[in-house]
Each structure stands twice: as C-alpha cells, then as structure tokens.
Structure 1
Amino acid sequence: MAEEVELSGVLSHLRVVEIGSSAATSYCTRLFADFGADVQKVESPAGDPLRSSAPLTPSGQSPWFAFLNFNKSSVIVDANDPEAVTRLTSLVEDSDILIDGRDIASAECPSIDVAAICRRRPKLIYLSTSWFAHDGPYAGFIATDSTVRALAGLIKLAGPTEGPPVHAPDFQTGILSGLWGFIAAISSVLAIMQGGAGRRWSLSTFESSLTASEYLMSESVAHSDVIRRMGINRFWPGFPLGIYETKDGWLGVTTVTPGQWWAFCDMLGLSQLRDDPSLVFGKDRLLYAQRLEGQFMPRLRNRTAREWFAEGVKRKIPLVPVPTMSDLINDIEKRERGAIVPVRFGKEEGLTAGSMQRLTLTPPNRGGRVPNLGEQCGVASKRRRLTHAGSAVEMRIKTGLQPLCGTRVIDFSMGWAGPLCTRTLADLGAEVIKIEAVQYPDWWRGVDRSPAYVQSQMYEKTPRFCIMNRNKSGITIDLTRPRGCALAKGLVAKADIVVDNYSVDVLPRFGLGYDVLKSLNPRLVMVSMSAFGTNSINRDCRAYGSTLEQASGYPGVVGGPDGPPVMSHTAFGDPVGGLNACAAVLTAMVHARSTGQGQFIDLAQVECMIPFAAPWITLQSIGGAEPKRYGNRHPQFVPHGCFRCAGEDNWIVIAVTDPDMWHRLALVIGRPEWATDVSLNTAEARRGIENEIETVISAWTFSRDADEAMLELQAVEVAAGVARMPIDLLNDRQLKSREFLQQTERAFIGVHLQPSMPIRQDARPFPVRTPAPTLGQHNGEILSRILNLSDADIAQLVKENIIGTSMLSEGGGD
C-alpha cells in the first residue's frame, strides 16, 4: 500500500466513492480526482471489467482504463465476504459523493441500501447512471457505446452515400455522460455550501448523447428533406466542411459565412466560383459539392497542410491541419498546457489526455498513476466534511430549489458551445443574462444580414437559437461604444460568472478583459472558450465546432485503414466544449464560494476533443506505431458493425460483447452450429471468420424491418440499436415516455419542442421555465432592476442604438 499523503486541490476536501463499472461514472469521478478529491474506486477481486477494455498496450493493459482512473485509489470489496455489505456501507457513509454505475455493469458489487444511507447522511450527494433510465420501452435494453450512439442519431449521417454509415470507435457516450454526471454532482456541492441538503440524481447515457444531436433534431423540422447522409466528410448545412488531402498531410476546411467562402476561393485562385451568386451560402454550395470539389481539391494538393493553415490565418478562414497521434504527442504546446499528460500504470509509462478544465488559479493535476487492484494511491488521511460556507455565503438555498439559484451569469457567447454552457447553468437555476447587439446578434440567429432577412425578422425564427437559449434573459448592448461598455461592466460587477466564446482578443479590445473585470469584482469566475487557448501560438486561427474536431486528431482513428480521416456529421466540438466549460466554471465556483476569490479559466475547445483519442495517444506514446483503424469493426467485440435492414437506407448496429451473447446471436440468425462450436467462444477466434459472420448477419437483417430486428435481438439480450436519423428522435418511444421533449411556446415560432437535460432529481425532467428571449427582450427589466437606470436613460440608449430590439441589416440600417 502506498504511503498516505495529503492531497491538494480545489476539491481535496471531498471524498467520492465509485461503485459498479461504467465509462460514464469512471470519467465523472476522474474529473473529481483531477482537482484533488479523494476518489475511492470499489472493485471486486476480479477488478473492474474496464481494466481489459481494448485496445491494449504491449503488456496487455487498457489505456482507456488508465485514462479514466489515474489519481484514484482502488478498494477491493468481495461480494462473497459476509462483511461486504457492512464494509461498503461504512465506506459510503464516510463519503460526500456516491457515483453509481451498477445499472450499466454491477461488476460484482454488493447490494447496499442507498436510500437508508441517504436518510442517515442527508448531505450525501448520490448519482446513479444507466444506459436508458429505469422506465420506458428501452429500460431493459442491452447496450454498448455504439448501439446507444446509433439510437441517439449520431451514426446514420456519417459515411458514404450508399452506406453503410461509418461510426467512430467507442468512448463517446462515456465522456459525454461523465461530464453531465460531474455537472450534476458539483452543482450539488455548491448547493450544500449555500445551506442545502444532498441531492439524488439519475443520469441517462442515451439522453446524454442527445447533447450532440439536439441541434439537428430541431433543424430537421424545417429541413428534413435535405438532411441526409451525403458522403465522407460532407454534411448539411455547410460546404466545404470536411477534410481534404494536401501535398503533405490532411487539411480541415470549414466555410460558414459568405466572406469565408469568398476568401477560400481567392486563396485558391477560383474567382469564377467566388463571383457566382448561386454559391454564396453553404446550403446552396452543397447542391454542387462534387463539381466544386473537382475544382478546388487539385489545387489543395499543390501545398502542404501547414502552408494552407498559415494562409487561412492570414485570410481569416477556418483551416487547420489534421494531426496524427504522433503529431499530438510531439506537440510541445499541448504538453505545456496539460492537455496531454504523463500517466503510469503498472510497469508502463505513457501519455494520455489531461484535464481540459484549465483553471488558472487552482489548476488540475497534471497526469498521475493508475492504481493497481486494491491499491491506495495518495489518499488524504485528514479532510474536512463537506459543509456550507458560513459567513462567506450571502444567501441560503432551501432544499428542493434548483442547485444554482442565486447565481448570476453574464453570457457573452454565441453559436453552440458557449450558449450550451450557459443554458445548462440556467437550467440548473442560475440567472443568465445573454448579451447581444442589434448590429451583431448571435450568429445562430442566422448569418444573412440582407434587408429582406432582417425586415422579415427571420433572425427570430431559427429553431437552433431557441433550443440553445431557453431559461435566459436577453439584452442588447453595443460593446464598441463607451456607454455600452460601461453598462456591461456594471452588470459584471454584480455577477458571479462570465462566459465568453469570442475570439481571444475581442473582449480585451473592448476593455472587458479579465484583468479589468476582476478589479471590479474580485470574486468573479470568468471562462474564455477560445478555440486554441488565450496564449496559444494558434490563437488567431478562426474555428467552429468542426474545426475543433479536425484539429483534435480524433478523425484520424475513425474509418477504414485506407480512407481519409472521417468527421462526425455534427459540429461535435461545440457540445463537448460547452459541457467542459460548464464543469470548469462550477469547479471554480466551489473555490470562489469558499474563499471569495474568483479566477480565470483558459479553456481551449480543441483540447476538449482530445479525450476521445486518449487510448490511441497512449498506444502511440508507448509502442510508437500508428493506431489501427477498424472501420465499423471493434478491437474487442466480434461481430460488431452496422448492417442493412429492409427498406431504403435502414441500418442497425449490432455488438456482441461476450461468449453467451454470441451463442444467443448465433441461434437467432439461424446458425446453431456456431453456438455449439467451442472454438468460436473467443472474439479473436471469431475474427478469423468475421467476413462470413457479417455476411450471415447482413442476410438476416436485410429481410427485416430495423425496429423489428432490434426488438428480436434485444428479446434474447443481444446489444442492438437502430441507426436513427435526428428527425426520428422527435417521435422516439423512449423519449416520449420520459417526456424528454418539452413543448414550449415562443413569439415568432409558436409551440416548439425543447430537449431536456439528461440529469434528473425525480421522474420528471427539469422544466423549461421560459423560452429563448427575442432580441433585446429584457433590456428595460434588466437595466432598471440591476443598474437602476430610469426610463429616460433607457430611451436615450435606444435612440443612440446602444440597445434595441431590432436587428440592423448590413450597412447599419433597419
């Protein structure tokens, strides 16, 4: 046993117990360990099954397990021990937070009476996670990461037009739901610090995955006829928005605004494309994708990815080289920032993804070691109990209210990532004041600034803006004017949190950088959600969520061995960055509530995508070989793939995870001899006839409706999930039974559906209290209530166009 040492970190006063086995709960608790919490991982004598999760290192260890579990301790509890329940109960009662993954895999964990423990320990925070929750048609489904992603609409839109859809390797759902679990638990810590009691949370992995789908779910209502699979690295609604070959390396390209398209054409000497009025918007260029690629792809091969990247920076085009795993581990900046950190497990030492929540005053641990089974690693022998902050807290929150009631957030963010961060804070009860300008509103209202678009108020009718900005107040301030800047400073002085996802120099240029704002409000927590980090050598690179995915290296492990790096169908970097930012500000708020001291968070959104590539970073750093790309197959499970069903473009993902499941599948698909052949009991043995197995499965699925095939397989406990389109989720039986989609009414668009958070405290979701604000809707109320402005003051601001309620068209006119 390692010698006990006192841990430091903003969460070092917390003890967290993790039971069961799931990637979601392991990642949730790793985030606590990153900031010094004493995390006790309970394992059976056989160990967490994730210890053998492939791909494996040369010595047979799991880099995925290593990524999820460094800086924790391991406690062995043998369910066969007569004292097991007593011992585990005592361990939980001496903790502050219990994170429970038994509904995903019990891992031979003894059954304990959690409800009784919570009665005895009213401040205990409890989070349980499951694949689909305990109610609804999918409640009993057998699942894997890939089958859940299929049902969540995260697979069907990526890949060749004729199929099959191409899906990424495992680990997406664990990271997304782990972030949600951490957000639930850490917000509960803040509520207790304000005088509240512990909270009991449930978390659905399936619903967590919808965080990456909800944008297209909403857009599908208006665009279902054009949202479809369009080929490798082609996606609605933009073009070009993909990865292309250059003279040396692959280049990620994203053009969203007309100006970016024009600059891209100028860079390549394609003036005839630049001047074509039918190609101004990305959705129109998509109609001619093959012809356009035929003209610009040969020109991209004339220079290297690095050379094009430099041109993109100069011309303000979102271009980025797509790194290999080798590029990532040799990236000095990522090592210096802690995005890639050393990890030691057993006799092996390598690199893995660090904490992306870069709190600058109370930073996370940089790397660490993975506990051997039953090993205590650096556990604090002394700690203080989680309690409320006493006189440092101005307001006590009563039990039952939302955990962030009394927290005020100033939201300088646009698009998806920043607004998702602040929407989550608002959903949890914070008062969020969203700041736009009539000259430049949130670009998710639309990038069209023509008089026709503005005069018809189309900027009030975009579903994506509405789902991302519910439960917020909305005001307009022209930050380019001194009077506007003064208004913003007045609001920040009375806030707890500022969220900013502009380019790194925008707010400082207006005199609203952190150094200025902290002088007005020393307890302020401010997160900058730039693409690459405030001090990055790439800080001037323009970026969207797609750029972040391209630059993370993750596309390089997706797809077949001979194809290009493959992107997701959605701007995956945006929701991942938004959840990480939310987790980071809540962690910083724990410190602020304890000490009265705020801090700056330098969150680089591209780094938030690196955890998805963590196992391959470790393998590369240890063995030196580029990672193997499996396509839709799997390094551990055979069979595993996406199979065509009856009808047009209908698909199902099937994954066999153990010998018993293989036997059941073999019987269902009509091959009983496979079920009785003991030589096929291992995945590696089956890999020798993988082509034949897939052919038989394909013949079986092709004659069946996709949903019928899924239910037939689930009836014999074989993991299977239909590959849904985003629009299918609007009528999904599980989501309907769980009331996940809430009806909300708003001016200009009427009744529309809002997705819920995947974390719940009871059977019903957190409610949508108010719809997204119309432009400047709350100008008068906010400026008078918080800044004490008179009606005359507000009228003068309107007259000067410092505030307003109508977007200005190009050129400044109405």
Structure 2
Amino acid sequence: MSSATSLSDENVPGPLAGLRVLEIGTGTNAPYAAKLLGDFGACVIKVEAVAGDSSRLRGPFPDRRVDPEASGLFAYLNANKFGMVADLESASDQEAVLALLSRCDALITNLPPASLDRAGLTPALLRQRFPSLVITTISPFGPDPVWGNRMGDELVTFAMGGLAYSTPGIPDAADDREAEPPLHPNCFAAETLAGLIAANATLAALNHRASTGQGAHLELSQHATVASLQHRDVTTYSYLGGKYERLLNPITIGRMPNFYLPCRDGWVTVAAPMVEHWDRLVEGMGRPDWAVSERFATPKARTENWIELRNRLIDWTATLTGEQLFEFANAQQLPIFPFHSVRAVTSTDHLRARNSLVPIEFGTRSAQMPAAPIMMRRSPWSLRRRAPRLGEHDTSLRTQGWPQAHRDHRWAMPAAPAVRSTTGGQASAYRPLAGVRILDVGQFIAIPFCTLWLAWMGAEVIVVESGRRMTSRSAPPFLPGLEGNPDASGYFNLLNAGKKSVRVDMTTTEGRKLVRALACKVDVLVDNFSTGVIEKLGLDYESLRRENPGLIAVSCGAFGRSGPMRMARGLHSAVNLYSGVADVTGYAGGAPRILGGVLPDPLAGTYAGFAVMAALTERRASGVGQYVDLAMYEAMMTLIPEAVIDLSLNGIEPVRAGNRDAQHAPHGIFRCKDEGDWVAISVRDDASWQRLCTAIERQDWLSDPRFSNATARCDHVAALEAGITAFTRERSAKAVTEILQAQRVAAGPVTRVDQLLTDPILSRRGTIIETDHPLVGKRAQLGLPWQADTGAFHYQRAPLLGEHTREVLAALLGLDDAEFSRLEQCGALA
C-alpha cells in the first residue's frame, strides 16, 4: 500500500479505474459507498468539514488513546481516497468544490438538505449545472413530508426498518418478551447497508449514463434500505396476514428442524429442513427410536411436535463439541454449524487462504481489517493508499484539481446502443440496466435477491428451473387452498418478480446442453450452488468463456469457492455464526445471537449485484468478461470492521451489550405502554442530551454528576435507562416519538415486520409496491429503496413455472416447434 501523500494514481487496477467520485459526507454510510467504488479502482476525493469526519473520533484507537489521525474505523472507511478540508459556507471553498465537480462523474453525500442548500450544492442546482453528473444523496428518511426533517441515526433507522424486532432472527428467537427486547447489533449495520446500496444505485446510474449521456439524482433513505432487505419475513404477512411473533414458533422458524441450540462448548445451528436433510441427520445419529417414530415421520409431524423435537436434539448436541458437530455435518452433508467468536474466525486457515483480512496503516500502527468481499479474477480490488490525514491533499487538490489518474474510454458517453432485451416496460420507466441479459441458476435467497433488484433495474433475467426438483417454489407461505401449488409460493413470487421462467431439467443430458447454450447467449451467469456443482452441470466458467468471451460469471456461496472450507455447506445461520457478527449481537452477559432478516442472503445478493455492474463496467473497456467469487461470510464481515480492528490492534474482543453503545448514552430500545410496543432512543451528543432532559421533564438530570457527560452517562447507564423506562412505560411508542422528535432527539417506534407493508413513510415514498399475479392476485412487497429523478422503476409480477420457455428458447437458440416437441418428449423440459 502506497503512501497517501502522492497525487499520482496512474495505472490503477480495478474495474472502476478512471471513474471520478467526490464524497462529501461523514460517519459511515456515504464514506462506505465511496470506499467501495474506490476499492475497485475509482479515484475518490473526500471533502471533510474543518472539524473532520465524525468517525475520526470513533476509534478503535491504538491503546485506546483518542487520536483523530489514528481511528481504526476512519482508516477502514477512507483508505483509497484523497482528502481535503472545506468550509462549505465559505464562497471560496464552494468554488473549489464546484471546480472538482466540473470534472467529476459521481457525487455521494449524506449532508442534510439544509446544509447542501447553504453550500449552493442542492441536487437541483447541480443537475442544471452538470447534467451528466450522477448525484447520490443519503438521509435517514428521505424527503418525507412528516419525517424528512426529523432526527434519525443508526439505531433509529435499524429499529424503524424492522430489523430490531426480527432480531434475534431465525433459527434463533426470543424466549422472554420482557428480558429480550428487540435487538441491535454492536456495529453500524444500517449505515453500512445504506452505503452498499448507495454504491449499487450509483453504479446503475453510471451504467445508464454510459448509454444515454444522462446524469441523475438518486435519493436513498436509510430507513427504506433496512426495510427493503427483509423479503423473507415480509412474504409471510403479504400472503397470510397476521402479527409477527418474536417468540420461537414454527411460523417464524419455518420447516423443522431449524434450531439454534447449546452444545458442549458453545452454540450450534442444527438445520435439516428438507426431507433428504432429515433422513441424513437421522442416519448420522444412528437412527434413534425417537427419530424414526411417527411423531417425527413427516415435515408436518416434525412441525407439530417441534418443542419435543427441539428438546430431543438438545439432548444430542449437549454431548458434542462444536467441532465434532461440524465434522458430523460435513460427513452427512448437512447445514449444521457452530458459533465462532471474532477471535476464533480471524485466526482460521480459511480466512488466511482467502486473504479475507488485510493490513491497514493508521497513525504509526497497523492492524487487520476486512477485505473487500468480492473476488474479481481479472480486475480485483486493491488497497493502494492509506486514509488521508485531515486536509492532507488540500493545497494540491485546490491548485491542480483531480489527480492525474488514467482516464480510459469506459467513462465516455457514446450514443445509445440498440437495446436487445425483450423485457416489457412503460416508456417512462427508469431502466438503467436495459440491454443486460442474465441467466439465473441460483437457489433460495441470495442470488434470487440479487437478480430481483437487477431485473427491477431493467435487466432481462432468465430463471432456469424444473418441475421435478423445485426449491423455493415448494416453500411456504401459500395462500389457503393453494398449498403446494408451485405458482402460489409467496417465497418464490416475491423474490422472482420481473423475471422470466424457463423450464429445463438439468439432470438430463439434453437439459444441460440447453442451459449451456443459453449461457453462451447471455451477458451474466449467476449461481449459488455448492462448490463443484456448477462444473458437474457443464457450466464451468473456463469452458464457457471460450465460447462466450464476454461472459461474466458470479458464484456466491457461504464460504466461497476457494480455501479449505470451500466444500462446507452453510445456510444463513452458519454465515452469521462464522462471520463473527453473532459475537457482537446479544444481550449483556448473554449468548451470541443471530441477526434477523436472514440478512446474510440479501446482503450477499446486494454485493453480487455490485459485482455484476462493476464487471459490466470493466467489460465496456476490455471487451471480455470475468469470474467473480463471493463468500457470504466475507460480506457479513463488512458489518464489523471495528470489532476486527480492535482485536487485531489492542487484543480486545467485542462485548455483547444489548442495545447500548460504548460511547453514547442513552442508546437503547425501551418498553412502552402497550403489549409489544417499543421505542428506540439515541442521544449522541451533549446538546441532544439537554433536549432529552427537557422533553421528558427531567431537568434535574442536567445537574446530576452521574450524567454530566457521555462517559459518565455510560458509566451509570442502568440508572439512566431505568429513569427513561419510567417515562416510556406510561406512553405509547408513537407518543414518546412525537415528544422527543419535537425536541430534536433521535427516536422512533420499533416496527414489526408485518407492519412494514403498511408503514406510512415507506408508502409515501413508493417503497411498498404491488404486483398482480394471475393465480395469487395482488400482493404487496418492498421495492427498491432509492428513487431517481430520471423516471420510476417498473415492477412486474413473478413468472409462472416455465411461462417463457418457448419464447426464450426460440428467441435465443432458434428452436422451432419440432425441436421443442422433441425436447418435451425426452424430458429435457420437465
């Protein structure tokens, strides 16, 4: 990694080399969006306020000594950037920023609208002055008429977006409503998610600009971001209604067994949801009498008797260590996985083999940090320069402008090419990925979620599936009376909206030939099979690229396609436990818990979407595609850079602290008057603390030495929380929110997952969408969490099984009726 002092960025590797990005932001979300673009080759200039980015004071610091030039979080978020300081209310500094914007491709900012207005940098003004500029703005709630000017932060948006209520998440669940409130992990989860999705939105708009010359203003709500990733849980309430239950139950958990259980030396997930899984589990346990009894003979019986089943399995797991259970799982090919602490996972051979951690310099020290979670074979990410010192490049950037980076032709704006996608759409629809064709052979959530968003952005997505072996189409929920109907699965329909379905049986020779032929006619192939399966199907990248040199192939797996654990199987729960995220999630003094929303899947799917768009960008310059390997655990590790860096730097392991923050108080989720009613409250500075005391009429706290500053409040947090709870227990969450927000204190009601589909903020911004399916009718779901001023996204329903088989095979492979009939007769289209 080079010194940050040099302004030379010649011959930068990465798929985004030549892209120029200006970041005006603080904290995590905007800096993380710009970091992703910079890690993959973009030239990024970071503009900080005179006081510096807030993450400079967050740490972790060497030896825990506060130093704004030695913050681990700042170093992680801002490597690969040049830095300058600007007072955006100064006319000369405004001109300096405008000069940089005049030669810029994208601006990413999380400054409030009022700050942008005072700086003369409102999106409307910038769009007029720089029509080809892509502007991405991030805010807690977007320009909502009620919430647009309210206070929101990491905790409040996480809670209002539904993720706190669904944490602990399946197969974990709360056992006690009072003792286990809705839970936030000890990391910047919501902000990181918002940054990732802002980077995706920016890349999509740049792709659109490459064909139209048109810039865009992209407006992203962090609250909508958190909500939009919860498709799995939202599906149940779209199809069946009801109220989300946080306690362990078969409706929230799904097929049994799927449990989070104690073992001899820790915790382990035991998942055998499919019939073949259960059969292998029973055989591996030696066919005990209870397991082969009628009480557990069918999936229905196992669900009905789930409490007894859980207790029986605890009797078994309690006799074995996590390592023994993992070895058992590998032998039986089962998704059973033990908990790993951050210390344990960061010392594994697998992380070393994949270079999942990389050294980072800050101050006079160095530490390990999470690497980028995307391995692009031809144009990998790189760590080229440390984070800048405050104002380090100020003089050079003001006098010389942008660094002399190689500016290649991929960022030119040619005339629009012919669009070959046959996907329908309204003329006013915003389809930044129109013309991109994707073959989707993925299973369950991660890859279907990836291609769902890509389809909504205009890509033509072709799903290959078979009626002989259905995965997500066989998964509930189903509408009453349509149980088992492959076209009525809510799970499938909400994750595959806007796609085409081709029915091909890949277990047949002719079926495999068909899919391989399709792979030679598309831009992108995506899969999340277990390692080795794609090769057995004849779809290995090395052979395909000889016939389709422009092909981009993305493989997504729990542990990636390389390293000693590449053959291991793992569901979302295993990824939670292996990534270290469970180690920072939990109640004070309690066990590690699993994050809600089956989050590894939509998170990994979003990273896969970023990888697709980055590879498409590189292909515009090179003309050739590449292979991308994405490990879900590496995606999850991007949520916990503080924990990884603090352990590496100071040897300090993370602490599970419930909803408390180590540096600010109060910071928590508090019980309100009504059953299941909670409110999130976050105070991050002394001014907010004073306003809180005024709001709840506790001015006496202002002279109480226990609460005199943030450190004192953290030291006496139990007493502080008791006082706040006395206030909240007498009121509804809505009432508490209104009282605190009136005093500019960040607060918001904790939203249940089933409430997301009627959330007024999401409804007003158009994030709640509706599709009309010929079998299940109109169903609500959550759409993309950002809006573009260039048009609205066009949402379409999910396909029926095999609905587009004849259309696609005729259009892409030239199959006539006679050949189609022959393939039907030989079973290739079953």
TM-score (normalizing by structure 1): 0.92
Q: Distance in 1 between matches of 2:5 and 2:377?
A: 30
1:387 maps to 411
CA offset at residue 380 of structure 1? 4.3
Residue range with higher mean Cα deviation, 216-225 or 687-696:
216-225
* 1:109–1:381 Cα change, 3 Å: farther
CA offset at residue 185 of structure 1? 1.2
The one-letter code matched in structure 2 to 1:783 is: L
1:742 to 749, 769, 778: 769
**8 Å CA contact 1:22, 1:104 repeated in 2:** no
CA offset at residue 615 of structure 1? 0.8
Q: Distance in 2 between matches of 1:443 and 1:123?
A: 41
**8 Å CA contact 2:212, 2:415 repeated in 1:** no
Pair 1:124 & 2:130 matched = no
2:594 to 563, 567, 575: 567
Which deviations, in whole Å up to 9, do the C-alpha atoms of 1:745-794 show, x marking residues without a partner?
Answer: 102201111321012113975121x2100100011111111111112222
* 1:454–1:481 Cα change, 3 Å: farther
2:284 to 267, 284, 301: 267
Which deviations, in whole Å up to 9, do the C-alpha atoms of 1:508-563 show, x marking residues without a partner?
Answer: 10211111211110000000112211123222222222221122111011113432
Q: Distance in 2 between matches of 1:197 and 1:435?
A: 34
SS of structure 2 residue aligned to 1:459:
coil
CA offset at residue 137 of structure 1? 2.8
Pair 1:138 & 2:147 matched = yes
Q: Distance in 2 between matches of 1:188 and 1:324?
A: 39
* 1:724–1:284 Cα change, 3 Å: farther
**8 Å CA contact 1:558, 1:566 repeated in 2:** yes
* 1:796–1:753 Cα change, 3 Å: same
CA offset at residue 743 of structure 1? 2.0
**8 Å CA contact 1:338, 1:366 repeated in 2:** no
CA offset at residue 234 of structure 1? 11
SS of structure 1 residue aligned to 2:34:
helix
CA offset at residue 148 of structure 1? 0.9
1:155 maps to 164
Q: Distance in 2 between matches of 1:375 and 1:283?
A: 64
Q: Distance in 2 between matches of 1:429 and 1:595?
A: 23
Q: Distance in 1 between matches of 2:625 and 2:255?
A: 39
2:574 maps to 547
CA offset at residue 619 of structure 1? 0.3
SS of structure 1 residue aligned to 2:375:
coil
2:466 maps to 437
Q: Distance in 1 between matches of 2:104 and 2:790?
A: 26
* 1:204–1:391 Cα change, 3 Å: closer
The one-letter code matched in structure 2 to 1:382 is: A
* 1:184–1:647 Cα change, 3 Å: same
Which deviations, in whole Å up to 9, do the C-alpha atoms of 1:310-344 show, x marking residues without a partner?
Answer: 11011111122322121232224323423211111
Q: How does 1:211-230 map to 2 (within 5 A)?
A: 211-225=228-242, 227-230=244-247
Residue range with higher mean Cα deviation, 586-595 or 335-344:
335-344
2:38 maps to 33
Residue range with higher mean Cα deviation, 465-474 or 323-332:
323-332
* 1:550–1:367 Cα change, 3 Å: farther
1:776 maps to 802
Q: How does 1:7-156 map to 2 (within 5 A)?
A: 7-53=12-58, 56-57=61-62, 58-60=64-66, 61-79=70-88, 81-103=90-112, 110-156=119-165
CA offset at residue 431 of structure 1? 0.7
SS of structure 2 residue aligned to 1:603:
strand
**8 Å CA contact 1:195, 1:388 repeated in 2:** no
1:704 to 721, 725, 731: 731
Q: Distance in 1 between matches of 2:300 and 2:700?
A: 52
The one-letter code matched in structure 1 to 2:755 is: D
SS of structure 2 residue aligned to 1:271:
coil
2:811 maps to 785
2:506 maps to 479
1:506 maps to 533
SS of structure 2 residue aligned to 1:364:
coil
Which deviations, in whole Å up to 9, do the C-alpha atoms of 1:75-106 show, x marking residues without a partner?
Answer: 11124644111111111222111001102995
CA offset at residue 798 of structure 1? 2.1
The one-letter code matched in structure 2 to 1:62 is: S
Q: How does 1:550-699 map to 2 (within 5 A)?
A: 550-677=577-704, 680-699=707-726
2:375 maps to 358
Which deviations, in whole Å up to 9, do the C-alpha atoms of 1:404-430 show, x marking residues without a partner?
Answer: 111110111121110111111111111
1:426 maps to 455
1:807 maps to none
Q: Distance in 1 between matches of 2:749 and 2:221?
A: 18
The one-letter code matched in structure 2 to 1:365 is: S
2:424 maps to none
**8 Å CA contact 2:464, 2:501 repeated in 1:** yes
Residue range with higher mean Cα deviation, 472-481 or 757-766:
757-766
* 1:321–1:236 Cα change, 3 Å: closer
CA offset at residue 227 of structure 1? 3.9
Q: Distance in 2 between matches of 1:223 and 1:161?
A: 25
CA offset at residue 272 of structure 1? 3.5
Q: Distance in 2 between matches of 1:267 and 1:106?
A: 62
Q: Distance in 2 between matches of 1:55 and 1:243?
A: 31
* 1:273–1:710 Cα change, 3 Å: farther
SS of structure 2 residue aligned to 1:602:
strand
SS of structure 2 residue aligned to 1:274:
coil
* 1:272–1:563 Cα change, 3 Å: farther
**8 Å CA contact 2:127, 2:216 repeated in 1:** no
SS of structure 2 residue aligned to 1:583:
helix
Q: Which runs of 4+ in 1 moved over 6 A?
A: 281-284, 391-394, 396-400, 453-456
Q: Distance in 1 between matches of 2:645 and 2:822?
A: 60
CA offset at residue 593 of structure 1? 1.6
1:808 maps to none
* 1:234–1:475 Cα change, 3 Å: closer
CA offset at residue 239 of structure 1? 4.3
The one-letter code matched in structure 2 to 1:21 is: T
2:311 maps to 294
1:191 to 198, 204, 208: 208
Q: Distance in 1 between matches of 2:115 and 2:297?
A: 54
CA offset at residue 15 of structure 1? 1.1
**8 Å CA contact 1:21, 1:105 repeated in 2:** no
1:2 maps to 5
Residue range with higher mean Cα deviation, 374-383 or 314-323:
374-383
* 1:481–1:125 Cα change, 3 Å: same
**8 Å CA contact 1:191, 1:404 repeated in 2:** yes
Identity of counterpart residues, as a percentage?
28
2:494 maps to 467
1:417 maps to 446
CA offset at residue 367 of structure 1? 7.4
Unaligned runs of 5+ in 1: 805-814
Unaligned runs of 5+ in 2: 169-173, 397-401, 422-426
**8 Å CA contact 2:338, 2:574 repeated in 1:** no
CA offset at residue 689 of structure 1? 2.6
Q: Distance in 2 between matches of 1:212 and 1:590?
A: 25
TM-score (normalizing by structure 2): 0.90
Which deviations, in whole Å up to 9, do the C-alpha atoms of 1:253-309 show, x marking residues without a partner?
Answer: 333213323433443456344224444677865665554343322432333212211
Q: Distance in 1 between matches of 2:61 and 2:517?
A: 54
2:399 maps to none
SS of structure 1 residue aligned to 2:273:
coil
SS of structure 2 residue aligned to 1:720:
strand
Q: CA RMSD in A?
A: 3.0
1:334 maps to 351
SS of structure 1 residue aligned to 2:253:
coil
Pair 1:370 & 2:387 matched = yes
* 1:455–1:764 Cα change, 3 Å: closer
2:437 maps to 408
* 1:105–1:639 Cα change, 3 Å: farther
**8 Å CA contact 1:496, 1:525 repeated in 2:** yes
Which deviations, in whole Å up to 9, do the C-alpha atoms of 1:624-649 show, x marking residues without a partner?
Answer: 12222221211122011111111212
